[in-house]
């Protein structure tokens, strides 16, 4: 039986806000059905993302991992894809790596793969979640976004981030929608809608 070779390419050096990320190799190959690992070295980051791009198509987000996370993070796009962080001690310094593992590799996995320090794929203006007015990142307290009164007919823009707006709509039931324009990976969080204030400040 002949096994097809899978060619996987990863991104070249990229610098963002003084931080640098570099592909450990520019080409990897693997037999169909095996596990292949792509790696990038980076200097510093709060989060790291992996993307896949087929010829003639836009990059597709695969998975995000927070720099403080120790365990392997599996992709929601395809469970065969997972990422993890590791450190390598050399003579004079510590090298940080972010790995993308692809299990059960297939010929259809042949593509250009990017490791990135900042989101490179954003969405169009759309209502991503309904009935939301506060957000919470894992391990953080809820953060107030925007307040809107029931009688207000126009959309209310958030003073925290102008990309966030809230509006009240009525059909058979009353709805409050949170609209996020220019959506990015960093907007991923747990969002709350509340009838009473749940976040208060000190006097």
The distance of Cα 139 from the centroid of its chain, to the nearest Å, equals: 17
pLDDT along the chain (203 residues), means of 10: 47 54 80 88 83 84 83 90 88 85 88 79 37 53 76 77 85 81 77 67 38
Q: Which CATH superfamily is domain 5-116 in?
A: Immunoglobulins (2.60.40.10)
Q: What is the pLDDT of residue 131?
A: 36
Q: What is the pLDDT of residue 47?
A: 79
Q: What is the pLDDT of residue 174?
A: 79
Q: What is the pLDDT of residue 126?
A: 32
Q: What is the pLDDT of residue 199?
A: 54
Q: What is the pLDDT of residue 79?
A: 93
The residue ranges of every structural domain in the chain are 5-116, 126-192
Distance CA 64, CA 47 (A): 7
* Range 128-144 burial, b when 16+ CB lie within 10 A, else e: bbeebbbbeeeeeebeb
Distance CA 100, CA 31 (A): 17
Order of strands across the sheet that contains 28-31: 28-31, 5-10, 111-116, 47-53, 60-66
């Amino acid at each position: 039986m002949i096994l097809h070779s899978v060619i996987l390419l990863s991104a070249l050096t990229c610098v963002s806000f003084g931080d640098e990320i570099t592909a450990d190799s520019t080409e990897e190959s693997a037999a169909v059905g095996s596990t292949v690992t792509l790696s990038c070295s980076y200097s510093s980051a709060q989060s790291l993302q992996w993307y896949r791009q087929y010829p003639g198509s836009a990059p597709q987000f695969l998975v995000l991992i927070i720099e403080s996370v120790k365990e392997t993070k599996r992709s929601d796009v395809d469970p065969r894809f997972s990422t993890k962080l590791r450190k390598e001690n050399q003579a004079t310094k510590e090298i940080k790596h972010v790995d993308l593992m692809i299990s059960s590799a297939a010929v259809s996995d042949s593509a250009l793969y990017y490791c990135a320090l900042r989101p490179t794929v954003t969405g169009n203006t759309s209502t991503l979640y309904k009935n939301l007015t506060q957000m919470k990142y894992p391990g953080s307290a809820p953060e107030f976004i925007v307040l809107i009164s029931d009688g207000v007919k126009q959309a209310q823009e958030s003073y925290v981030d102008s990309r966030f707006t809230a509006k009240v709509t009525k059909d058979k039931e009353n709805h409050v929608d949170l609209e996020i324009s220019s959506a990015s990976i960093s907007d991923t969080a747990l969002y709350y809608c509340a009838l009473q204030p749940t976040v208060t400040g000190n006097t």
